[in-house]
Structure 1
Amino acid sequence: MSYPHNQFFSKPYLFDVYRGETKKYNFLEYTLFVSFFPQLISGPIVRHEEIISQFSNKEIYRFNSENVAVGITTFSIGLFKKVVLVDHVATYANPVFAAVANGESINFLISWCGVLAYSLQLYFDFSGYSDMAIGAARMFGIKLPVNFNSPYKAINISDFWRRWHITLSNFLRDYLYIPLGGNRQGDIRRKINLIITMLLGGLWHGAGWNFVFWGGLHGIYLVIHRQWQKFLKFLGYDLSKSYWWSRGIGTLITFLSVVIAWIFFRAANMNTAFLILEGMSGFNGIILPMPLQKYLSFLSNWGIKFEGTGTFGFAVSDALIWIFSLLLIVWLIPNTQQWMENYEPALNYQATKTLKLWQKVRWQPSNIWVVISTVITLVAIFHISQDNEFIYFQF
């Protein structure tokens, strides 16, 4: 347990005590709170009131087979995401960003492959990390707050931040946005407060202009979304109602906006980020793999070429298959909390609607799930290597 970690979790408590918003805990309660190892600075960012009350429950100090089973399963799913999905899709993202950083020009298809691969790499990295933290705590009978709830299913950018790093969003809201004035000082000041909060959220991830730009870009996204909502209300639309097609369009626009922002999050510097955007925009040409020419030869009339796509250490067709498959998982398959929701997997988890097909195969303590969990765990263990480092743990 690092000193910065203890500092980070203790400061909100000290602020709350100073403002008279919480009671003072004894030394043992406070020490247990800041030293509970499953909570880490990368998330979930646990509030003192969420966890100290659980320590006073004598039941957590007794062996509970349900807690152990739920915890091990959740932890195993997270480990599988990290060492199987993340580390494989990383082989399509890392070479692209490295090539651009070294001055190499990349075309339309390669740039999109690299950026989408990184977006999925980061998604499953943080998802797996959150699952492992929640699972480890649950083995000890402690429920950590949900920190990741299918953010790429978000229908708008505000919804995205209610799903991605949920505990950080709450922290920024309560200790930055609201103290700055929040929504209380007029529309213009509210927008300024929102952008300042997101800029500081960018700096929380790293001290570099690319992180500042990433945070500012999300701040602008949020301001645009709020203005769009005001415009729709002005036109008389009922924002509480929506059609499936409008939600689908909203999800696609939100996903692409987030993907664009991730470029600045991942790139070594601003210049690299803009060079990748240049490739994604087609300014370096659109080149498709040669095998596609017999099916799409008519595209040659629009200047699209068919030839080798460069030496990046991977086959573009393999990258596209992996990207497409992982996007199907992201958008169609329930997340870990939904699989486990019959057993209250995490603190403050609110059940969400899933297809009846998935409801019938939710996790339960049965022989078939023992087999599935064992297979998942063994596959993950066999894929563990010295390079299995969490991306989000670096921030």
Structure 2
Amino acid sequence: MLFNSYAFIGLFLPITLAGFFLLAKASHNWAALWLGIASLAFYGWWDPRYLALLLLSIVFNFVVGRAISRQHERDAPNHAKLVLIFGIVSDLALLFYFKYTDFFISSVNHVLHTQHPLLNLVLPLGISFFTFTQIAFLVDTYRGEAKEYDPVHYLFFVTNFPHLIAGPILHHKEIMPQFENPACYRVNWENIAVGLTIFTIGLAKKVLLADEIGRYVAPVFDGTSNPHLFLAWGGALAYTLQLYFDFSGYSDMAIGLARMFGIKFPLNFDSPYKAQNIIEFWRRWHMTLSRFLRDYLYIPLGGNRQGPTRRHVNLLVTMVLGGLWHGAGWTFVVWGALHGVYLVVNHAWQTFFRAAADTTKERSPRFWAWLLTFLAVMVGWVFFRAKDLDIAIDILRGMAGLNGVVLPHHWFNASFMNPLKELLVANGAQVLTTKFIAYRDQLYLTLQLLLIATLAPNTQQIMQRFSPTIDQFKNLEGALSRWTWRPNVAWLLAIAILFGWSLIDIPSGEKVSEFLYFQF
């Protein structure tokens, strides 16, 4: 079931919300069980066959978590560590089987020139997210930061439908204390209003922005070979914007849905395309994944505690594994490695300037720092989206003008274009002409979305301006705390119009577009 579908908005959500608060009047456990069952129904809507796999994973990790707690109670830390290792290895083995078996077989076939048949396994929806969520639970249990003795509450924690399919990646210690608070089981109209507002903003991002710009992605990445300069740049920019508005839209919707039930999810995006460097980008992009990779991979590897060389190696390993987590393909490995190199260079650059702080206070102009960061990120997204390395390289060649350049016909004979044409021709590029109208709509839409992503306030900034009492959005970098928008008729009308506009644009039936991160 998709958040951007009539079935979810018109049936599932109101029934689940009403059932939760009605049952909560009789028993909090009944309300929690209702939400868990509703979440299983939400997951099973995609393919009921994989419900058993999800439930098996939940039962297994709950039992392992209890076993780790018992070993600590018996003052047997070594036994607890062995149980933890067993649980993590089992979780990763399940993930590897479904996600990487065919990738491993195809890689072996390619290297050894063998013909082992692929298993053609279907990737269970959300397996990466519910696996990482439960690994974090096991590690936190081992550290003494999480304890769960109620199977109903654990079922809710893992299956909670707002985050089940594509995150955010949750920590048991930050969600369950909220769910155990009696206030969570009472209708709070501020939570409902805030949740609906955030959900509406996320829905608009997905339906009105991401899906619209997404029309220009597939023709470049899935169709045209040897794309010329404008086509390659148009496709890369379109995907860069589509992915952001699609995934941040999903995250907003998940945060809004959880808020309706009185639960505050961690933020997942903070205007990443405003970043001035790659380090800042990863503090703003998919923030819960960045936190997971830092806490459960980078720091256990040694972090920055063993010198700069080891830190750089740890960064590279973390980002390559993070790339591989996103998908079973060499394009994801290259994407992760690229960002690993970006981070190493960024840290080295910052170290150099700190060392030179006594002799100079000059800094790179903010615009050029932003532009370099944005271009580096966009090059990475080409590998992230391309089906294979050959397609990615072909698109990058096109972006460099090596596949030819198509210019609007009224530019072709303009004198100011002569130096550029001569340079392109001298380097073997083919210069063709076309009517500007062929790219006008795409160009205008791309510019509009780029301005929104880089200049407009993001969802949390809007909500902080909406009300300073919304502590979930306090003290964020760049927040506009001096402005407040109290609930009023104008605000209600604006959100209602945005919600109605989004509903009108939702396709019907099987044409509803999935979220991009569903495939990871």
The TM-score with structure 2 as length reference comes to 0.69
What is the alpha-carbon distance in structure 2 between the residues aligned to residue 107 and residue 327 of structure 1? Answer: 22
Q: Displacement of 1:350 after TM fit? A: 2.9
What is the alpha-carbon distance in structure 2 between the residues aligned to residue 112 and residue 86 of structure 1? Answer: 17
**Mapped pair 1:350 → 2:507:** no
What is the alpha-carbon distance in structure 2 between the residues aligned to residue 352 and residue 231 of structure 1? Answer: 25
What is the alpha-carbon distance in structure 2 between the residues aligned to residue 80 and residue 291 of structure 1? Answer: 37
Q: Displacement of 1:309 after TM fit? A: 7.3
1:258 aligned to which of 361, 377, 387: 377
What is the alpha-carbon distance in structure 2 between the residues aligned to residue 300 and residue 328 of structure 1? Answer: 30
**Mapped pair 1:319 → 2:442:** yes
2:237 aligned to which of 111, 116, 119: 116
Residues 67-86 of structure 1 aligned to structure 2 (within 5 Å): 67-86=191-210
Task: Label 1:346 to 1:270 Cα distance change in 2 as closer, same or farther (>3 A).
Answer: farther
1:332 alignment partner AA: L
SS in 1 for 2:349: helix
Q: Displacement of 1:24 after TM fit? A: 4.2
1:146 and 1:346 in contact (8 A); partners too: no
- Which residue in 2 is equivalent to 1:299? 417
1:335 aligned to which of 411, 435, 458: 458
Task: Label 1:347 to 1:33 Cα distance change in 2 as closer, same or farther (>3 A).
Answer: farther
CA RMSD of aligned residues (A): 2.4
Q: Displacement of 1:277 after TM fit? A: 0.6
Higher relative contact order (CA 8 A, sep 6+): 1
2:407 and 2:432 in contact (8 A); partners too: yes
Q: Displacement of 1:188 after TM fit? A: 1.0
SS in 2 for 1:39: helix
Task: Label 1:164 to 1:238 Cα distance change in 2 as closer, same or farther (>3 A).
Answer: farther
What is the alpha-carbon distance in structure 2 between the residues aligned to residue 207 and residue 237 of structure 1? Answer: 47
Q: Displacement of 1:248 after TM fit? A: 2.4
1:31-73 residue CA offsets vs partner (Å, 9 max, x unmatched): 2212221123522101001100001111111111111011001
**Mapped pair 1:387 → 2:512:** yes
1:214-273 residue CA offsets vs partner (Å, 9 max, x unmatched): 00100000000010011111212699x887x72322211111100000000000100000
Q: Displacement of 1:198 after TM fit? A: 0.4
Q: Displacement of 1:96 after TM fit? A: 1.2
Q: Displacement of 1:84 after TM fit? A: 0.9
1:145 and 1:346 in contact (8 A); partners too: no
SS in 1 for 2:162: coil
- Relative to its length, the structure with more helix (as a share) is 2
Q: Displacement of 1:10 after TM fit? A: 1.9
SS in 2 for 1:315: helix
What is the alpha-carbon distance in structure 1 between the residues aligned to residue 471 and residue 370 of structure 2? Answer: 25
Residues 179-218 of structure 1 aligned to structure 2 (within 5 Å): 179-218=300-339
Residues 1-395 of structure 1 aligned to structure 2 (within 5 Å): 1=43, 3=54, 4=127, 6-100=130-224, 104-236=225-357, 246-293=365-412, 296-303=414-421, 305=431, 307-308=433-434, 315-341=438-464, 342=467, 347=472, 350-353=475-478, 360=483, 363-385=485-507, 386-395=511-520
1:122-158 residue CA offsets vs partner (Å, 9 max, x unmatched): 0100110111000000111111000011000011101
> Where does the alignment leave 5 or more consecutive residues of structure 1 unmatched?
none
Task: Label 1:306 to 1:345 Cα distance change in 2 as closer, same or farther (>3 A).
Answer: farther
1:289 and 1:316 in contact (8 A); partners too: no
Percentage identity across aligned positions?
Answer: 49
Paired residue total: 383
What is the alpha-carbon distance in structure 2 between the residues aligned to residue 166 and residue 242 of structure 1? Answer: 30
Q: Displacement of 1:292 after TM fit? A: 3.8
1:157-206 residue CA offsets vs partner (Å, 9 max, x unmatched): 01000000000000011111111111122211111111000011001100
1:134 and 1:346 in contact (8 A); partners too: no
1:338 and 1:352 in contact (8 A); partners too: no
2:145 and 2:173 in contact (8 A); partners too: no
2:130 and 2:164 in contact (8 A); partners too: no
Q: Displacement of 1:392 after TM fit? A: 1.7
Q: Displacement of 1:300 after TM fit? A: 3.3
What is the alpha-carbon distance in structure 1 between the residues aligned to residue 233 and residue 294 of structure 2? Answer: 33
Task: Label 1:98 to 1:24 Cα distance change in 2 as closer, same or farther (>3 A).
Answer: closer
Task: Label 1:231 to 1:214 Cα distance change in 2 as closer, same or farther (>3 A).
Answer: same
1:31 alignment partner AA: L
The structure whose Rg is larger is 2
SS in 2 for 1:174: helix
What is the alpha-carbon distance in structure 1 between the residues aligned to residue 169 and residue 348 of structure 2? Answer: 30
The TM-score with structure 1 as length reference comes to 0.90
What is the alpha-carbon distance in structure 1 between the residues aligned to residue 329 and residue 469 of structure 2? Answer: 39
1:338 alignment partner AA: Q
What is the alpha-carbon distance in structure 1 between the residues aligned to residue 149 and residue 229 of structure 2? Answer: 57
1:146 and 1:349 in contact (8 A); partners too: no
What is the alpha-carbon distance in structure 2 between the residues aligned to residue 348 and residue 51 of structure 1? Answer: 16
Q: Displacement of 1:287 after TM fit? A: 1.9
Task: Label 1:326 to 1:57 Cα distance change in 2 as closer, same or farther (>3 A).
Answer: same
Task: Label 1:221 to 1:237 Cα distance change in 2 as closer, same or farther (>3 A).
Answer: farther
1:258-298 residue CA offsets vs partner (Å, 9 max, x unmatched): 0000000000100000011101111122221224447x443
2:461 and 2:480 in contact (8 A); partners too: no
2:320 and 2:336 in contact (8 A); partners too: yes
What is the alpha-carbon distance in structure 1 between the residues aligned to residue 178 and residue 479 of structure 2? Answer: 30
1:17-36 residue CA offsets vs partner (Å, 9 max, x unmatched): 22334334433332221222
1:90 and 1:117 in contact (8 A); partners too: yes
SS in 2 for 1:307: strand
Task: Label 1:344 to 1:268 Cα distance change in 2 as closer, same or farther (>3 A).
Answer: farther
SS in 2 for 1:236: coil
What is the alpha-carbon distance in structure 1 between the residues aligned to residue 233 and residue 226 of structure 2? Answer: 13
